[in-house]
Structure formats: structure tokens, C-alpha cells
Amino acid sequence: MVHGEFWTVRELFVTPNEYIYWSVQIVMYPFMTGLVAGAFVLSSLYHVFGIKQLKDIARFALVFSFALLPAAPLPIILHLQHPFRGINNLMTPHFTSAIAAFGIVFSTYGAIVASELWFLYRKHFVEQSLYLKKRPDKTLGEKLMYFIYTVLTLGAYDVSEKALHKDEKAIKILAAIGIPVACFLHGYAGFIFGSVKANALWMTPLMPVIFIMSAVVSGIALCMLTYIVTMEFRKYFACRKQSPTYSPECREEIKSVEINVIRMTAKYLLFFLIFAISLELLDLIFRGYTAVKSWDVLRSVIYGKDFAAIFILQYGIGNLIPFILFLLPGMTIRRAIIGVLLVMFGVFMMRWNVVIGGQAFSLTFAGYMHYHLPIIPHNMETLKEGLFGAMGVFVSPFILFYFLTKIFPVFGLKESH
Amino acid sequence: MISRRDLLKNTAKAVAGISVPLAALEILTPARVQALKTDKAVRWAFLVDTYKCVGCGLCVKACKNENEIPYDANVTRTWVERYVLTKDGRFFADSPKGARDGFISSKIDLGKGNYQDIKQEEIKKAFFVPKLCNQCENPPCVQVCPVGATYQAPDGVVLVDRTWCIGCGYCIMACPYGVRFFHPVHHTAEKCNFCYHRITKGMKSACVQACPFGARQIGNIKDPNDPVAKTITTERVGILKSEYGTKPQVYYIGLDEEVR
């Protein structure tokens, strides 16, 4: 079977070679890079602009965006017909192609996040390394941690007031450089689609900007969600009767910190959400108003075949309902969880409607293609580019985050920048 | 002993030096030098006379066999489209299996197993249009290839390097004519190349040779004595989808506004 044939159903006049070649992994790619960029922007809001209310979530967001990093190229590699040749993209980049810049943009960004993380945790590395060094009769695990921390210090053991001040400055500079790079990383994912002139739905200069805005929205939402989940765990462990930190007010204390951070972050989420929706609607109105040759088929897709996916799932459930949830007074944690889950779903649907929706009509403008996501895999192709492949990509950063927090603890550090 | 500052400095220098992209350096292979030295006055172009096409599909059959595209796979380097316009203004078009077996039924294939029967007396006009790669002067597929696995030969034909293609599908997305697909066996981008292995040896492409009606012709547009070049330069011919600015090099006689 030809690639794409399995999940494509064709209707009316479609030329023989047209299938849905870019499937669910290409939906995951901008979704995951969006989360990376968004998480980083959130952490930078504190480091660069000094928004104090975000202090608690900033450190968390940075570690999380580091954990998300490998999840950006993963879907592309899973989508490639020759995954082992993916490295060619770095070895012989052909710079007229938007994809060729991926290696450079991505590694620049990765380097920035990694070095910012290093400056942020340098003191912790030194302390841990020195502490474990002194410790007699180290267990195997402690030996391993000692080795990791010693390597991570990179030989810089100076933790004087002056040196730490310099670190702080470095973090600020890196975060400031990081914002445009993060936006570029994601805006460039938008460019990959927006510059395809053969695709009537994709081709718009607004695409990179729309992608950045929705990226920030989804990134903030994911950080909020993970923050809530970890805080709930903390609350549970710190406030058990057996716990040494137990006090009757403990639960309330953590809860009030948590809800304050969430309230504050939700404001920024709404701010970016308004931008994203405005741009998307502008694009839609503009297409309808100018009504060029492709509009007939686009209209039949947007208002007909994909109506439920676009207007009900994306705009309704994914944008409007969380919008109301966040605006209503008296925010609660439970409502915030529902809100951020819906926001993330909305952004995912937006990616879906762009990537799959862009292939829902034929180049002839007289035929349609329907995508059926493979659920039960029966070969490598349907595993990689099916429900399980997509889920794997989505879950991977959480697993990585769990291991990263063993080395970069996100809570409970006495001093933090 | 080397100081940390020096180590960092030298590392930065080394990294900067190494990262001078290899792409910036052009390595001339003997074959390329040969190609540059030889006569550059070749630019392959294709001429399709739609009045002569009867939709027999022999060109598609010949192409599949010649270029080893699995016979039953639902992809093809070239295909024939059938257009039917009715007196009451309805538009129908299809290309079942790329017209590999010709148009054996008068019913229009609507996809999903549905067929539309149109009565002879309802038809206003009906015609066939063969399609193949346009070997664009400004090929978007070459522009978007991230690894340079697809490229334009000096004589204008766009080729694919099967050993280097990573199979990302960006070129397939970028082609406004839908001529590209993934080869079912090699899993790399695949397209019509005017039978490059034949035309560079002075033969005609397989589809041209197979066409019993002379609807397909190939020639060198830079040669003033070439019959194809003569027709293209002196007669009224059309191209497909000029709005994309790709400057296609497949010219059509008898193109209709309904042709997609």
C-alpha cells in the first residue's frame, strides 16, 4: 500500500497521487514545539520582565521546557519515511528550505535553555557535589549522583555572593535572548506551513504569528497544569500527619500560594489567547472577503466538512468555554484544571485543523480527502503515525521531566533567583 | 597549563570553524564538470495536444513499466484526466487508477465507490488531459527540499536522489500539480523525470513513444529546428496554473478553463 493510502478516503475529483501525506505526527510537531516555546516564554516573563508573581512557576517552567525539548524533533523523525537519514538535514542543509534551518534554530534554542538552566542550578550542583563528596560510605545511587553533580558543576565551584550575582545577570541575558529565539523556533514552524504556496489554506503570512500566539497559550496552559499536579502532590506529602513539616495550617498555606500563582498565570494566558483568536478570525474573515479562486473549496471545508472540528471543538470547547471559565470570578483549582485542559485541547485542534484541514481538499479544488486516524496499529507505519505514536510523543516529556527533577529539583530550594 | 578562559576561547573558535556549513563549499564531481563543459543549449520541454488524446492510457502503462512504479500501486508518474461538462452547467472530472487501463466506462468515478452516469445528450463538452511533471523553471519542490535531494539538472529536468531523500514529504506538499508521491518500494519522493535515462541517450520518453496518436511530444526548446520548440514558440499554447509562478515547461494545445 502506498504511504497515506491507508488513512485517506478520497471523494470526487482528486488527482491520482494525492493522499494525506502529513498526518498526525505533523500535527504533533507544531503542538509540541509550541509547548516548548510557550513554557520558555512563561519562565522568561519572570527572569526578564521581573514579574514577581510568576517567580514560583518560572523555575518550574524552565525545567519543563528543557524536558519538552526532545519532543519537538521526535514527531518529525517518526514521520520521516527514512528516519535514519534525518541527520542529512544537519549534514547537508539546503537553505532555501524552511526545514533545513531546523537543526540550527533548534540547537541554538537548546543551548540557550541548557545554559540558562545551568546558571540557575549552579549553586545547587556545587552544594550537592560538596555534600556528597564529604559523605562516607556512599551507596551506588549516591556515587552516581555525586558523579553527575560533579560533572554538572563543570569545575566552577565559586559560589560567593559576587559569583552568584554574575549568574543572575547571565540568566537574565540568556532569558532575554531566549524569547526571540523561542518565538523564532515556533514562528518558523508556522513559516514551514505558511510558505507552501501550493496549499490554499496554509499560505498566509499570518501563519507564523498565529502559531507563536497559540504556542504561548498552550505552553502556559501546560505549565499551569503540571504546576497544579505537582503542587497537589506536594500538598499531599507535606501535609500528611507523619510528615516532619506537618502543621494544621500547612494545607491552607500551600493552597493559597498555589491559587495565587494560578490566578496570575491565567491572566497572561487570557492575554495571549485573545491575540491568538483575533488573528485566526482575521485570517478567516480576510479569506471570505477577498474570496479568491480557492475560496469556494475552502468555504465548503471550513463551514461544511470541518465545521464541527473548527467551530465546535476548536473555537467553542477549546477557546470560548475556557475563556469564560477564566473570566468568571472566584477561581478555583478545579476550574483552572478544566480550563487549561480545554485550552490545550483547543490548541491541539487548531494544529489539527491547519495540518489535516489543509489536506482535506484536492489541488483540483473539486475533490476532498478525509483523514482517518489509525488507532489499532497493524504495521510500523500505522504505529508510528497513529494514535499510539502520537500518544508516545505527548507522554515522553512528562517521563523525562520526572527524571530531570531528580537532578534539577523544582521545589524546595532555599534560595532561588 | 591552559587556562579556562583560553580553553573556552579556543573551543569557541574551533566550533565556529567547524560549523562553516559544508553546503557553502561546492564540490565539483567529474560528472558535474563534464555537464558544465558540454553544450548548454538543451532545455527539455513537453507538448501535449489534448485534441489528439483519446484516453487510452497506453502512456500510463508504458510509464509504469519503464520506470518501475509497482503496477497496482495507486500512484503514478503520469496520468490522464477526463473532463465532462454538461449542458446544465455541471462539472465532472475523474482519473480512475490514473487511467492506467484507459477510460473503459463512461461512468464518472466520484470516489468512495460512487459512479455518475451521464447521458450522451446531456454532455456539452468532454475531453482528456494528460498530466505529468511540468519540470518547472522555478520548481517549488526543489526550493523546499531540506537536504537538497531533489535538484534541477542543467537541462531543466528536476531529479530526485533516492539515496539522499529523507522522505519528509515537503516537496509533495509544495508541488501545485500533485505529480509527486512516495515510491511504494524505495519510500522516497518520486516523480516524472521525462524518462531522463532515455532522453539523455537520444530516445523519446516512454509515454511519448507509447502514444499511438501523437498527443504527447518531447523536445528541446532551445533548438530552433526542433518541431516541438517550433510549435511552442509559434502557436497558441497554454500552461497549467500559471498563478503559482512556477513557470511550467509542459505546454498544452486546446487547454480549457475548466482544466485543473
Query: How large is the average pLDDT for residues A96-124?
Result: 88
Number of domains in chain B: 1
Decide if B176 is inside a domain.
yes
Q: Could you give the CA distance from residue A203 to residue A214 in angstroms, rounded to a whole number?
A: 18
> What is the CATH classification number for the domain harbouring A345?
1.20.1630.10
Cα-Cα-Cα-Cα dihedral of A87, A90, A92, A96, to 10°? 120
Q: Which of A301, A273, A307 is nearest to A287 (CA)?
A: A301
* 3-state DSSP assignment of residue A372: coil
**Which of residues A227 and A195 earns the better pLDDT score?**
A195
Examine residue B234 and state whether it is found in any structural domain, yes or no.
Answer: no
User: Are A15 and B22 inside 8 Å of each other by CB?
Assistant: no
**Cell digits of residue A56:** 514560583
In a domain, B226, yes or no: no
Answer for the pair B135, B44: CB distance below 8 angstroms, yes or no. Answer: yes
Q: How far is A364 from chain B (nearest CA, A)?
A: 5
pLDDT at A322: 92
In a domain, A164, yes or no: yes
Residue type, A168: E
Quote the Cα angle for A299-A31-A319, to 5°.
60
- The pLDDT tens digits of the residues spanning A2-44 come to 888 889 999 999 999 999 999 999 999 989 888 888 888 878 8
Say if A6 falls within a structural domain: no
**pLDDT score for A242:** 67
What are A371's strand-pairing partners?
A8
Instruction: Please state at what angle helix A250-290 crosses helix A55-68, rounded to 10 degrees.
Output: 60
What is the structure's pLDDT at A415?
A: 44
Please check whether residue A300 lies inside any domain of the structure: yes
Whether residue B23 contacts residue A94, with contact meaning beta carbons closer than 8 Å, is answered with: yes
Share of chain A above pLDDT 70, in %: 96
Q: What is the pLDDT of residue B132?
A: 94
Asked whether residue B23 carries a pLDDT value surpassing 60, the answer given is no
Q: How close B130 comes to chain A (CA, Å)? A: 12
The pLDDT-based confidence of B242 (bands split at 50, 70, 90) is: very high
B196 touching A (Cβ < 8 Å): no
Alpha-helix runs per DSSP H in B57-169:
58-66, 140-144
Please give the grid coordinates belonging to residue A338.
478544566
In a domain? residue A415: no
Closest residue of B to A83, CA-based?
Answer: B166
The amino acid that residue B147 corresponds to is V
Domain around A259: 11-407
- Chain A residues near residue B167 by CB distance under 8 angstroms: 80-82, 85
B75 has a chain A CB within 8 A of its CB? yes
Angle A351-A199-A286 (CA atoms, 0-180°, nearest 5)?
75
* Range with top average pLDDT, A197-201, A261-265, A404-408, B31-35: A197-201
Contact yes or no for A16 and B147 at CB 8 A = no
CA distances (Å), origin B170, targets A196, A200, A211, A356, B156:
9, 15, 19, 14, 21
Q: Cα–Cα distance between A313 and A19 in angstroms, integer? A: 24
The predicted pLDDT at position A417 comes to 42
Predicted complex ipTM: 0.85
How deeply is B161 buried, as exposed, middle or buried, from its count of CB atoms within 10 A (0-12, 13-18, 19+)? middle
pLDDT digits (tens, 9 = 90+) for A341-392: 999 999 999 999 999 999 999 999 999 999 999 998 888 888 989 999 999 9
Distance CA B187, CA B166 (A): 9
Residue-wise pLDDT for A78-89, tens only, equals: 999 999 998 888
Q: What residues contact B124, with CB distance under 8 A and at least 6 apart?
A: B85, B86, B87
| Plot region of B89 (φ>0 → left; ψ -120 to 50 → alpha; else → beta) | left
Mean pLDDT of B185-201: 93
**Any chain A CB within 8 A of the CB of B211?**
no
- What value does the mean pLDDT take over residues B75-97? 93
pLDDT-based confidence at A416, cuts 50/70/90?
Answer: very low
Cell numbers that stand for A280 in this block: 485566526
Pairwise CA distance, residues A394 & A38, whole Å: 15
CB A160 within 8 A of CB A123: no
Structural domains counted in chain A:
1
Does A22 contact B173 at a Cβ distance shorter than 8 Å?
A: yes
Average pLDDT value for residue range B38-62: 89
Looking at residue B92, its pLDDT comes to 92
User: Which residues partner with A299 through β-bridges?
Assistant: none
CA distance B48 to B56: 15
What does the mean pLDDT of chain A come to? 87
CB contact under 8 A, B173 and A11: no
Mark yes or no for CB contact A81/B93 under 8 Å: no
Nearest CA-CA distance, residue B52 and chain A, Å: 21
- The span from the CA of A159 to the CA of A124, in Å, is 10
Among the partner-chain residues B76, B110, B169, the one whose CB lies closest to the CB of A16 is B76
The answer for residues whose C-beta is within 8 angstroms of residue A248's C-beta and 6 or more apart is: none
Closest C-alpha among B211, B223, B245 to residue B49? B211
Question: What integer pLDDT is reported at residue A39 of this predicted model?
Answer: 82
What pLDDT sits at residue A40? Answer: 83
User: Which residue among B97, B112, B260 places its CB closest to the CB of A364?
Assistant: B260
Range of the domain at B151: 136-190
What would the pLDDT profile of B101-115 be if each residue is shown by its tens digit?
989 888 988 988 889
Domain membership flag for residue B3: no
Question: Which phi and psi angles does B215 have, rounded to 5°?
Answer: -75, -25
Query: Angle B259-B172-A303 (CA atoms, 0-180°, nearest 5)?
Result: 65
CA–chain centroid gap for B83, Å, is 21
What is the Cα A98 distance to its own chain's centre? 20
B97 touches A: beta carbon within 8 Å: yes
pLDDT tens by residue, A383-406: 989 999 999 999 998 899 888 888
The CATH number for B176's domain is 3.30.70.20
Is B187 in Cβ contact with A3 (below 8 Å)? yes
Which DSSP string corresponds to A121-174? HHHHHHHHHHHHHH-SS--HHHHHHHHHHHHHHTT-----HHHHHHHHHHHHHH
Check pLDDT > 60 for residue B135. Answer: yes
What was the pLDDT predicted at B241?
A: 93
Residue B40: what pLDDT? 64
State the pLDDT at residue A98. Answer: 86
Of residues A412 and B213, more confidence is placed in B213
Least CB-CB distance to A197: which of B140, B148, B166? B140
* Distance in angstroms (rounded) separating the CA atoms of residues A252 and A248: 8
C-alpha triplet B202, B205, B206: angle, nearest 5° = 130
Residues of A in contact with B72 (CB under 8 A): none
Residue A412 is predicted with a pLDDT of 60
Identify the weakest region by mean pLDDT among A26-35, A53-62, A178-187, A278-287: A53-62
> In this predicted model, what pLDDT tens digit does every residue of A238-260 receive, in sequence order?
777 666 666 667 777 777 777 88
Q: What percent of chain B has pLDDT over 70?
A: 93
B119/chain A closest Cα distance in angstroms? 19
Mode of pairing for the β-strands spanning B44-49 and B250-253: parallel
Residue in chain B nearest A84 by alpha carbon: B166
